[in-house]
């Protein structure tokens, strides 16, 4: 199957690109990927997206965007891209063994929660280990949980989890939080949140049957370790861009983000554009993702006219 | 659209899931769960594709916490595949249609 525009990723960047490309009669095809809707689908209230004075639920906002794109002729498919060839034109994309070609590709694959990389973390993910407090907090009513991290998202998750958990302990490597002042104040003032400073999570104990039962915490100053008991562990240690499928073909920075040319969404390959969190480690907002998504569709449309 | 997706609950679970004559896919979800909303249309598609072969249904964990507790659900969406009253397969999170299909095809084979 051949398309003028294929969009990889379905968060606010990809869907805004789809709205614009569809309105330009480019009939874009959107591969929604393994987390359709992206990170907005694991948030609750979005209070800072312009146009919604009372806030809107993340998943609902995404649903609106998808409907808007489809209304103008975009096709959205629940498929995940396995392999790409961006080195010859037309570009080729494989979903399993099925091949698609495109004149232009817009990459909006976003970023995913970073994990520590422990075997126990992987083993117990979904069994007490979580990267999404809004999704899983409910299952920790009157339980004791840890939040690993020290930024805004760690503070937000900790505060959210106090709705359910009897005790929330933030495990943070340093002796101060990176979170914004307002979030820090909310954390410090909260009776059920404790902070373990200069601490790192070294291991998680538990089984799939029992769930998480405890964690090994290391003092980053003295190097001493101690075991504490807990029922859940929530990871909030930042994000990593979803670019593994493009490695070796697109220019990425040392953290794996796609490098775009200043004031545009152009990548190093003409005809391939990138928008949203996959190329942004500074702003990372729904509205900035949507903004660069719009830019990428306009860039693609002009590029198609000229080539 | 969702006519092939059954609503399971704590009351009908044993008779409708454990004693079913076919494999059953149960989607544990809640209204406040974003990834659950994202996976819902995929579950609906699966229900239509496997109509007659696999029973497909949803279980709202907010209103039915007994079954969710019995199976140790700690994260949603969790999809469990039951066959002859036993859990034969499961996935956690929004895994994509192909992963669900491969679970069901294995249960049917």
d(CA A24, CA A298): 9
Whole-angstrom CA distances from A304 to A26, A224, A275, A292 are: 10, 60, 18, 18
The end-to-end CA distance of chain B, in Å, is 27
| CB under 8 A, 24+ apart: contacts of B19-23 | B19/B85, B20/B55, B20/B82, B22/B53, B22/B54, B22/B55, B23/B53, B23/B54, B23/B55, B23/B81, B23/B82, B23/B83, B23/B88, B23/B104, B23/B107, B23/B108
**ipTM of this complex:** 0.75
Q: Residue A72 corresponds to which tokens in the numbers above?
A: 């103008």
Q: Tell me: the pLDDT tens digits for A72-95?
A: 999 999 888 999 999 999 999 999
**pLDDT surpasses 90 at B2:** no
pLDDT less than 50: residues of chain A = none
The backbone torsions φ and ψ at residue A110, rounded to the nearest 5 degrees and listed phi first, read 70, -160
A19 touches A65 (CB < 8 A): yes
Catalytically annotated residue among A54, A85, A97, A135: A135
Distance CA B11, CA A95 (A): 41
pLDDT score of A2: 97
Query: Which among B32, B38, B78 has CB closest to A37?
Result: B38
Neighbours of A174 (CB within 10 A): 11
Return the closest-CA partner of residue A213 out of A200, A234, A230, A191: A230
Residue A144 near residue A165 (C-beta atoms within 8 A): yes
Among B36, B54, B103, B107, the active-site one is: B36
- Tell me what pLDDT residue B1 has: 47
Distance CA A300, CA A270 (A): 10
Q: Among the listed ranges A81-90, A205-214, B46-55, B86-95, which one has the minimum average pLDDT value?
A: B86-95
Among A218, A217, A213, smallest CA distance to A229 is for A213
Under an 8 Å CB criterion, which residues of A touch B?
A: 33-37, 40-44, 57-59, 62-63, 78-80, 96, 125-128, 130, 132, 134-136, 138-140, 208-209, 211, 232
User: pTM surpassing 0.90?
Assistant: no
What percent of chain B shows pLDDT beyond 90?
Answer: 72
């Amino acid at each position: 199957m051949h398309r003028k525009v294929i969009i990889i990723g379905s968060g606010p960047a990809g869907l805004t690109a789809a709205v614009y490309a569809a309105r330009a009669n480019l009939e874009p095809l959107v591969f929604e990927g393994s987390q359709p809707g992206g990170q907005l689908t694991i948030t609750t209230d979005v209070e800072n997206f312009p146009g919604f004075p009372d806030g809107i639920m993340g998943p609902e906002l995404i649903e609106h965007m998808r409907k808007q794109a489809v209304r103008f002729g975009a096709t959205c498919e629940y498929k995940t891209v396995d392999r790409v060839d961006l080195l010859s034109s037309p570009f080729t994309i494989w979903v399993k063994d099925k091949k698609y070609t495109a004149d232009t590709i817009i990459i909006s694959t976003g970023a995913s929660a970073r994990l520590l990389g422990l075997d126990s973390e992987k083993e117990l993910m979904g069994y007490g280990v979580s990267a999404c407090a809004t999704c899983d907090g409910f299952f920790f009513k009157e339980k004791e949980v840890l939040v690993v991290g020290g930024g805004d998202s760690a503070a937000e998750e900790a505060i959210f989890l106090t709705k359910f958990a009897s005790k929330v302990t933030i495990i943070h490597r340093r002796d101060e939080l990176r979170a914004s002042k307002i979030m820090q104040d909310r954390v410090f003032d909260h009776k059920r949140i404790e902070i373990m400073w200069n601490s790192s999570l070294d291991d998680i104990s538990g089984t799939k049957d029992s769930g998480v039962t405890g964690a090994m915490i290391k003092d980053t100053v003295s190097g001493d370790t101690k075991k504490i008991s807990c029922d859940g562990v929530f990871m909030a240690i930042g994000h990593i861009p979803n670019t593994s499928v493009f490695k070796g073909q697109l220019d990425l920075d040392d953290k794996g983000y796609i490098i775009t040319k200043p004031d545009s969404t152009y990548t190093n390959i003409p005809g391939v554009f990138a928008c949203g969190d996959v190329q942004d480690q500074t702003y990372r907002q729904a509205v900035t993702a949507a903004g660069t998504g719009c830019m990428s569709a306009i860039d693609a449309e002009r590029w198609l006219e000229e080539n | 659209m969702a006519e092939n997706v059954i609503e399971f609950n704590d009351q009908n679970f044993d008779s409708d899931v454990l004693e079913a004559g076919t494999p059953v896919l149960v989607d544990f979800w809640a209204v406040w769960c974003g990834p659950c909303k994202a996976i819902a249309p995929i579950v609906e598609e699966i229900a239509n594709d496997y109509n007659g072969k696999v029973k497909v249904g949803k279980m709202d964990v907010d209103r039915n916490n007994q079954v969710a507790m019995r199976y140790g659900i700690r994260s949603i969406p969790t999809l469990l595949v039951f066959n002859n009253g036993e859990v034969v397969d499961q996935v956690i999170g929004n895994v994509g249609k192909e992963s669900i299909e491969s679970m069901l095809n294995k249960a049917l084979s």
